[in-house]
Chain A
Amino acid sequence: MLTQSDVERIAHLARLEIDQGESKVFSDSLSRILALIEEMNAVDTSGIEPMAHPQDVGLRLREDEVTETNRRAELQGIAPATEDGLYLVPRVVG
């Protein structure tokens, strides 16, 4: 069961702004989803190795060599705000 204040705390962690009305709606639906999720407890999984990846293969490594060219101008061309090759955001330090 998730309360509205639980939802507001999680929303902050997820960097989402939600109003009172939304936190009410989300606390209802999330509580029902958590009840569904808790059906997992019907199965004993003790001693079972967690499965993070369908083929259980490790990540590949590649040679440490340059494969990409510099595309800064092109990549920054789709950014909301840039200046002198930097991404602009609101001031973080005084």
Chain B
Amino acid sequence: MGPEAVINKSLAELSRALQTEETSSVDLTRAFLDRVDNGQGLNAFITVDGDRALEQASAADARIARGDAGPLTGIPLAHKDIFCTKGLLTTCGSKILSNFIAPYNATVIERFNQAGAVILGKTNMDEFAMGSSNETSYFGAVENPWDRACVPGGSSGGSAAAVAARLTPAATGTDTGGSIRQPAAFCGITGLKPSYGRVSRYGMVAFASSLDQGGALTHSAEDAAYLLSVMAGFDPRDSTSIDRPVDDYVGRLEQDISGLTIGLPRQFFGEGLDPEVGQRVEAAIEEYKRLGVKAVDVDMPNCSLAVPCYYVLGPAEASSNLARYDGVRYGYRAPEYTDLIDMYKKTRSQGFGAEVKRRILIGTYVLSAGYYDAYYLKALKLRRLIAQEFQQAFQVCDLIVGPTTPTTAFKLGAKVDDPIAMYLNDIYTIPANLSGLPGISIPAGFDDAGHPIGLQLIGGYFAEARLLNMAHHYQRVTDWHKQTPAGCA
């Protein structure tokens, strides 16, 4: 199989080609490394170690030859630069970690290593995953392969752009308020955020620990099922990991969906939703009805307040988590300072970018004496109301369906000076994080300007298999997920 044939194949197809030895992991890895090297000018990667990738690929080929391979053995993958990789730079998109070589692997990386997957490189991201456009990265913005003047979304923007541009068969990401689903929608790919507790957070640089969850950015629900099968599972090293069996995500893809009911929250279709996005989402709902799925309206009024709630809880947790960057044990330290406090201040002021500082400041404020009850405690109570709203909705429907984002990808620079406009991008994705529920974004068409549109499905706790199954059925009857940006095929 030549390099051209390789890059347009799905992960599932590549896996079969490796098993039947139609291609080798070394050839695959070389083909994708060449793509990454030329990079299409997207700035999707922060670190690439070709020699190391090819070593892993040779080991994978030997494993396949021994007949000891799993579905991901020999598959090159890109990882968001938030997952610690032993011996390889892990920057989290920040100057403060720009020299950080992790002394251990994240559990997610460990699991992929055991499965025999190849690490192609580490992808660009918003600094500490704080952003919806990938423009807060210390390593520069990423371009959207569908429109180079537009953002790829964020914070997993490098991963999303790399998958969309066929620089990697699939990638990992993390999602705290929409950071997998929103860039997946903007880049026309599939993005899965599992339930909180399903994928280990060990070795995943912490932003907001009660919201962060690792997941997959892929071409299809089928490919996401393969990734999740490796990523999911109990980890004693993550105190919030949930000890329950992992479903057969691949095996359940074809399961019958007729007779299921989807709930359409009124609040996801109101003011602020771009009409073109709304039309494509309605068309997708019609497609589901043709597949025998029923649709009901549901009312989720408190979801409208998910953004304010999130901008208390996310920054509060971030300000605590980011206190560890003090220039003492690892990472950047300011070159000049007078005393200890001055060293902390100069290190942190030089090491963090403006958006990270902004969130640390909000978090510090809402947790400070006299404001805790009015902001933090209030937000925790509202969080419960939002979570309860989902449970009420699931009394009358199996899944929630709506748009992933209010608009398609916006222009680079358009919202950098307006944090509120930026935050409102995540209005439909944040409720799932607050509730800890799994969500997926799948391609559902394009607007008139040719920008991809994402359809979001949200399931009950640990309903990943059902989400992937529903997404897979849609992808069997549509080909939006098979479209490739011009110049990237």
B54 at the interface (CB under 8 A from A): no
Q: Which residue of chain A is the closest to B237 with respect to CB atoms?
A: A67
- A36, B308: Cα distance in complex, Å: 6
Q: Does B148 contact A (CB under 8 A)?
A: no
Contact of A40 among B240, B309, B329, B345 (CB under 8 A): B309
In the complex the two chains form, what is the Cα distance from A92 to B339 in whole Å? 7
Taken together as a complex, chains A and B put the C-alpha atoms of A30 and B436 apart, in Å, by 27
Residues of A within 8 A of B302 (CB): 43
Given A26-B358, A55-B197, A62-B236, residue A45 in contact with residue B381 (CB < 8 A)? yes
Q: Which of B239, B358, B360, B382 contacts A29 (CB 8 A)?
A: B358
- Whether A85 is near chain B, meaning CB under 8 Å from some CB there, is no
Within the complex, which residue of A17, A39, A74, A80 is in contact with B328, where a contact is CB–CB below 8 Å? A80
User: Is A66 an interface residue, CB under 8 A from the partner?
Assistant: no
- Across the interface, do A74 and B343 meet the contact criterion of CB distance under 8 Å? no
A64 vs chain B, min Cβ distance (A)? 14
Bits for A22-41, please: 1 = Cβ < 8 Å to B, else 0.
Answer: 00001001101110111111
Q: Give the bracket for the number of chain A residues in contact with chain B.
A: 35 or more
A36→B363 CA distance, assembly (Å): 14
Q: Is the CB of A36 within 8 A of B100?
A: no
Q: Interface segment, B13-21, B290-298, B330-338? A: B330-338
- Nearest B residue to A42 by beta-carbon distance? B305
Inter-chain contact B436/A52, CB cutoff 8 Å: no
Interfacial chain A residues near B196, Cβ < 8 Å = 54-55
Please give, as numbers and ranges, the residues of chain B lying within 8 Å of A29 by CB-CB distance.
358, 419
CB atoms of A54 and B340 under 8 A apart: no
- Whether B383 lies near A51 (C-beta < 8 A) is yes
- What is the distance, in angstroms, from A4's C-beta to the closest C-beta of chain B? 12
Number of chain B residues whose Cβ lies closer than 8 Å to a Cβ of chain A = 70
Contacting residues, chain A, for B380 (C-beta < 8 A): 50-52
Q: How near does chain A come to B210, taking the closest CB pair, in angstroms?
A: 6
Interface string of A1-32 (1 = CB under 8 A from B): 01000110011011111100000001001101
- Is B446 on the interface with A (CB-CB < 8 A)? no
The answer to whether B210 touches A54, judged by C-beta atoms less than 8 angstroms apart, is: yes
Complex Cα distance A2/B362, Å?
A: 11
- The answer to whether A50 and B384 have CB atoms under 8 Å apart is yes
Name B381's contact: one of A11, A13, A48, A53 (CB within 8 Å). Answer: A48
B474 within 8 A of A: no
Q: B346 touching A17 by the CB < 8 A rule?
A: yes
CB distance from B120 to the nearest CB of A (A): 24
Query: Does A49 sit at the interface, judged by CB under 8 A?
Result: yes
Cβ-based interface call for B319 (8 A): yes
Asked if residues B333 and A51 are in contact (CB atoms below 8 Å), the reply is no
Residues of chain A from 58 to 94 with CB closer than 8 A to chain B in the complex: 59-60, 62, 71, 74-75, 77-81, 87, 89-92
Say yes or no: is B461 at the interface (Cβ < 8 Å to chain A): yes
Most buried by B among A10, A30, A37, A71: A37
With an 8 A cutoff between CB atoms, is B357 at the interface?
Answer: yes
Q: Among B236, B242, B435, which residue has its beta carbon within 8 angstroms of that of A57?
A: B242
With an 8 A cutoff between CB atoms, is B307 at the interface?
Answer: yes
In the assembled complex, how far is the CB of residue B146 from the closest CB belonging to chain A, in whole angstroms? 30
Q: Which of B329, B330, B364, B435 contacts A54 (CB 8 A)?
A: B435
Instruction: Report Cα–Cα, A34/B365, bound state, in Å.
Output: 10
Q: How far is the CB of A54 from chain B (nearest CB, A)?
A: 2
Q: Which residues of A contact B361 (CB under 8 A)?
A: 7, 10-11, 14, 16, 26, 30
**With contacts A15-B348, A17-B349 known, is A51 near B340, CB below 8 A?**
no
- For residue B344, CB closer than 8 A to chain A, the reply is yes
Question: Do A33 and B339 have beta carbons less than 8 Å apart?
Answer: no
Contacts of B195 in A (CB 8 A): 54
Contact bitstring B370-408, A, C-beta under 8 A = 1, else 0: 000001011111111101000000000000000000000
Closest chain A residue to B301, Cβ basis: A43
**Chain B: minimal CB distance from A22 (Å):** 8
**Any chain A CB within 8 A of the CB of B101?**
yes
Contact A40 B312 (CB under 8 A): yes
Q: Is the CB of A48 within 8 A of B385?
A: yes
Closest approach, in angstroms, between the C-beta of B28 and any C-beta of chain A? 32
Binding site for A on B (CB under 8 A): 100-101, 103, 195-197, 210, 236, 239-240, 242, 302, 305, 307-309, 311-312, 319, 323, 326-333, 337-346, 348-349, 352, 357-358, 360-366, 368, 375, 377-385, 387, 419-420, 423, 434-437, 461
Would you give 27 A-B contacts (Cβ < 8 Å), ordered by A? Answer: A7-B361, A10-B365, A10-B368, A13-B368, A15-B326, A15-B341, A16-B349, A30-B358, A32-B419, A33-B420, A37-B366, A37-B379, A43-B382, A48-B381, A48-B382, A49-B381, A50-B377, A50-B381, A51-B384, A54-B435, A55-B196, A57-B242, A60-B239, A77-B103, A78-B101, A79-B330, A80-B330
Starting from the known contacts A29-B358, A36-B308, 8 additional A-B residue pairs (CB-CB under 8 Å) come to A14-B364, A15-B345, A30-B358, A33-B420, A36-B307, A40-B312, A54-B437, A78-B103
